C-alpha cells in the first residue's frame, strides 16, 4: 500500500574483548608477547615548536600545547606505555652536540631532546584552529611518531573535532583521541616488524683517519664491517667516509636485546682481528651505539 518500514540496528563492539579473543586464537600477536621480546618502549611527547624555539619552552608557554601533551600522555599511560616527561630544559643542555655531528644530522631539537634522555620513540604534534559557522571553532591535530635513534617515521595521523563555541579543550581532546588509536596501531606494527626482521640499531663509528695510512685505514674499515656482520641479520649502509661509518643494522632480539650486548660482541670480534687499531665506545643510548677507532 505504498508504506514501508525502515529498520536500523545499532551494534556496539567491545574492542578489548575482540582483541583478546583474536590473541587467544593466535590470529594476532598480543602486546604482552611483543614487550616480553623487545621490552616496553619509552615514549616522549613533544609539541612541534616554531623554528628556533625550544620545545620545552614552547610547552610551558603555550596552553593548547601543554594541554595536548597531557591528553597524549594520559592516552599512552592508560594503555600501559612507558612515558617520559621532558620537564627540565637542563636535560637538553647536557646533550653532547659532538655526538650528533658525528652522525651528520641536521639540527632537530625534538630529536636531540628525545635522544638525550634515552627514549625509544618520540611523538610530536601540532594543533591548528579554524573558524566555522555560527562563530564556532574547530580544531585539527596532526600527530607523528618517530623511532628516536634512527629517525624512522613510524606513522602520521590527523584528527578533527566538531565545531564548538567556547569549549576549546574539549575540541582539542576530541581531535587528539581520534588520531591516537590509528597511530598506536602503527607503533605496534613497528614492534612486530622488529621481531620479524630483528631489532634495529643505529651504529655510528668515528675514525681518527689522520693516524692511519691509506692501506691501514682500508684494513681497519674492513675489519669493522666484518665484526658488525657477525652480529647482524641485515645491514644498511648510510654513510661511508674516511672518518665516519654510519649503519642501520638488524639483530636477533633474543641474542642482542641491548646495545651493551651488541657492543661487547663487536668489540670482541674487532680485537681478535685488528692489529693496528683500538675500538672504544663513545655512547650507548637505547638503540644508538656511537663508537670511535684510534690507532694503537
Which H, E and C letters describe the chain, residue by residue? Answer: CCCCCCCCCCCCCCHHHHHHHHHHCCCCCCHHHHHHHHCCCEEEEEECCCCCCCHHHHHHHCHHHHHHHHHHHHHHHHCCCEEECCCCCHHHHCCCHHHHHHCCCCCCHHHHHHHHHCCCEEEEEEEEEEEEHHHEEEEEEEEEEEECCCCCEEEEEEEECCCECCCHHHHHHHHHHHHHHHHHHHHHHHHHHHHHHCEEEEEEEEECHHHCCHHHHHHHHHHHHHHHHCCCCEEEEEEECCCEEEEEEEECCCCCCCHHHHHHHHHHHHHHHCCCEEEEEEEEECCEEEEEEEEC
User: How far is CA 227 from each of CA 230, 262, 296, rounded to the nearest angstrom?
Assistant: 6, 11, 18
Average pLDDT in the chain: 80
Residue 265 has pLDDT above 90, yes or no: yes
Going by pLDDT thresholds of 50, 70 and 90, the confidence category of residue 237 is confident
Chain segment 23-49, per-residue pLDDT in tens: 888 787 666 665 555 556 778 888 888
Quick one: average pLDDT of 264-284? 87
- In terms of pLDDT, which residue wins out, 91 or 278? 278
Chain segment 34-92, per-residue pLDDT in tens: 555 555 677 888 888 888 777 777 888 888 888 999 999 998 888 778 787 765 434 44
Question: d(Cα 20, Cα 180) in Å, to the nearest integer?
Answer: 20
Residue 162 has pLDDT above 80, yes or no: yes
The cell numbers describing 197, all together, are 626482521
pTM strictly above 0.75:
no
Residue 113 has pLDDT above 60, yes or no: no
Please choose, from the candidates 67, 272, 55, the residue with its C-alpha nearest in 3D space to the C-alpha of residue 167. Answer: 67
Question: d(Cα 30, Cα 95) in Å, to the nearest integer?
Answer: 36
Tell me the CB-side half-sphere exposure of residue 209, using CA atoms within 13 A.
11
Going by pLDDT thresholds of 50, 70 and 90, the confidence category of residue 238 is confident
Going by pLDDT thresholds of 50, 70 and 90, the confidence category of residue 106 is very low
Q: Please, which residues bridge with residue 158 across strands?
A: 142
pLDDT at 88: 45
Least confident of 29-33, 124-128, 153-157, 270-274: 29-33
Amino acid at each position: 500500500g505504498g508504506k514501508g518500514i525502515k529498520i536500523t540496528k545499532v551494534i556496539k563492539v567491545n574492542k578489548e574483548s575482540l582483541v583478546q579473543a583474536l590473541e587467544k586464537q593466535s590470529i594476532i600477536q598480543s602486546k604482552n608477547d611483543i614487550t616480553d621480546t623487545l621490552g616496553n618502549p619509552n615514549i616522549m611527547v613533544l609539541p612541534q615548536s616554531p623554528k628556533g624555539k625550544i620545545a620545552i619552552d614552547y610547552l610551558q608557554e603555550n596552553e593548547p600545547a601543554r594541554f595536548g601533551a597531557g591528553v597524549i600522555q594520559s592516552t599512552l599511560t592508560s594503555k600501559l606505555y612507558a612515558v617520559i616527561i621532558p620537564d627540565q630544559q637542563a636535560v637538553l643542555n647536557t646533550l653532547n652536540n659532538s655526538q650528533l655531528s658525528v652522525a651528520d644530522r641536521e639540527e632537530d631539537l625534538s630529536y636531540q631532546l628525545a635522544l638525550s634522555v634515552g627514549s625509544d620513540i618520540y611523538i610530536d604534534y601540532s594543533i591548528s584552529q579554524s573558524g566555522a559557522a555560527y562563530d564556532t571553532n574547530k580544531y585539527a591535530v596532526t600527530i607523528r611518531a618517530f623511532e628516536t635513534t634512527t629517525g624512522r617515521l613510524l606513522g602520521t595521523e590527523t584528527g578533527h573535532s566538531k565545531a564548538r563555541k567556547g569549549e576549546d579543550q574539549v575540541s582539542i581532546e576530541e581531535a587528539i583521541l581520534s588520531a591516537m588509536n590509528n597511530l598506536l596501531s602503527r607503533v605496534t606494527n613497528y614492534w612486530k616488524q622488529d621481531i620479524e626482521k630483528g631489532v634495529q640499531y643505529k651504529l655510528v663509528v668515528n675514525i681518527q683517519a689522520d693516524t692511519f695510512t691509506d692501506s691501514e685505514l682500508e684494513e681497519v674499515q674492513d675489519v669493522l664491517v666484518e665484526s658488525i656482520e657477525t652480529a647482524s641479520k641485515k645491514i644498511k649502509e648510510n654513510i661511508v667516509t674516511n672518518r665516519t661509518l654510519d649503519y642501520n643494522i638488524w639483530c636477533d632480539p633474543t641474542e642482542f636485546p641491548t646495545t651493551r650486548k651488541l657492543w661487547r660482541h663487536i668489540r670482541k670480534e674487532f680485537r681478535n682481528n685488528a692489529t693496528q687499531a683500538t675500538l672504544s665506545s663513545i655512547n650507548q643510548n637505547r638503540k644508538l651505539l656511537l663508537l670511535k677507532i684510534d690507532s694503537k
